[in-house]
Structure 1
Amino acid sequence: MTRRIALIGGGAAAGPVVAPELRQLVGSEDELVAYPSRVSVFPHTALELLLQEVGHAEAAVAAVDDGVAAIAIDSVGDYGLAAMRASLPVPAFGAGEAGMAAAGAEGRRFTIVTVWPPSMNFILEGRLRAYGHSGACAGIFNIGTEPDVSGPEGPGAYLSRIKSGHRSVIDKAAGAIATAAAQGAEAVMLGCTCMSGIAATLAAQASVPVINPLAAAVAAAAKAEAVPPPETLADRKDMLRAMVDAIPQQPAEACPVCIEAPQP
């Protein structure tokens, strides 16, 4: 029997062609389907993060209405995860939660390496606290800088530079992983699901395990069993849709850190 698994959010894996590193994590007859958030704001601050919580929850509702059997959130911020688990009749897994659990397995000390600049660390730090991993995380390595995102050319220009020069991104990430290992990290979690496409390349060069958080969430969703349906008032779905309906007319904000695939 074919099971449909929803990828909630945006990024490389949510494109029309499912990334091969994710395809191999589900059954041969199973299907990964992307449900991007209709709230097209990048979470530079806690306010935009709150908006994305709503957008991701609404996308998850649409996925369940389409008959998906499980949900994986395509973001280490796990936007809307608590709301999904409280209101949806299918299991939901966050990349941040799954990735941190894998990185810290068996009491390992781990480090996070991300393409985001330090100003975005509040999202990762919030997830570390929420999941009880703050003590196990030895630090966050940022290979992106503030000018990359907030410079005069804007985040769109940064995105273009990343897409046209992926080798430099891989080299920076590999260098950060090597430094983390030299400083005693026993594992490294990649700090953005947009790094999924280069995860295998980075892992092959590393002396410690490199965790792809998106792959961890998809793998968990693929193995998940049914959950008891929660008691949720039917009108809440309509209320949520009405809130999000007011947003799609706004200009979309490009994610300044997405990487579609490694380039030669």
Structure 2
Amino acid sequence: MKVFLIGDRGTLGPPAAAALRSAGHEVADPRDQSMSGCDVVVSLAPPQPVGHAALAPGAWRRHDRHLAEGSHRLVDAARRAGVPRFVQCSSSVLYVDSGDDRIDEFTTIDLTQATEPFVIAEANAEQFGRDGGEHVVLRLGRVVGPTQHTAWMVRRARSGRPTGFGDPQSWIHLIHLEDAAAAVVAAVTAPPGTYNVGAEPTRRHDLAEQHALAGERRGPRFHSPLTHRLGGRRLEMLTRSQRVSSQRFGDRTGWHPAHPKLTPDWFDRALVDA
């Protein structure tokens, strides 16, 4: 298949492009090729601000505009070019705080100013489906591995600073970068629909502990409730307990994570390759 990949310079872009080529797909360069003749458009989530920069006024404006407005333009362009399939990468942070309950694709979405751009991007993809095309939405867990965000967390842990957010016993949905790239490959032929994609749910305590180990420190450290309040809605959505199941995607596509559980090896190259 010929894949028109948008966002190839972001965190997920290079490994997704490499995985697509390895699977035998042709990856079109959006900078000098048109969508015409492509079999699928894949819109990756835009890069997110990292570290303290994420709390600065207007830090998320470009990210949100790319999701909300950019997805609309991409869907319209794909429709006019006659592309039969559209894949939108989204995030599982959309779900409400569900405590210890399992979350599937039918769990309630919490619409806030922070989650709205993801919801709009998904709605644009769904409209593509209603207009006669095929659409796939991937609600990815937080990407961990050789990424700027993971490297920042490990450096914080190494300096003795907190990396954990929310209740240490609550759940967080994660995915290794390599598995996220493999999920993009599976999405280009997946049955149309919306899917959660990630590893087995992880306790926040365990994630913070792995940060500490990677930073050669002992014991996880968590931010205070004051930090949560100062971070507003944008930070609040990162503290929700989300015990997300990705079974539907695995059952329908045969995709299974090569990194099914959070382990120390997720951080082996975090500071080297990020």
What interval of TM-score do these two structures reach, taking the shorter chain for normalisation? 0.3 to 0.5
1 or 2 for the larger relative contact order (CA 8 Å, sep ≥6)? Answer: 1
Between Structure 1 and Structure 2, which shows a larger proportion of helix residues?
1
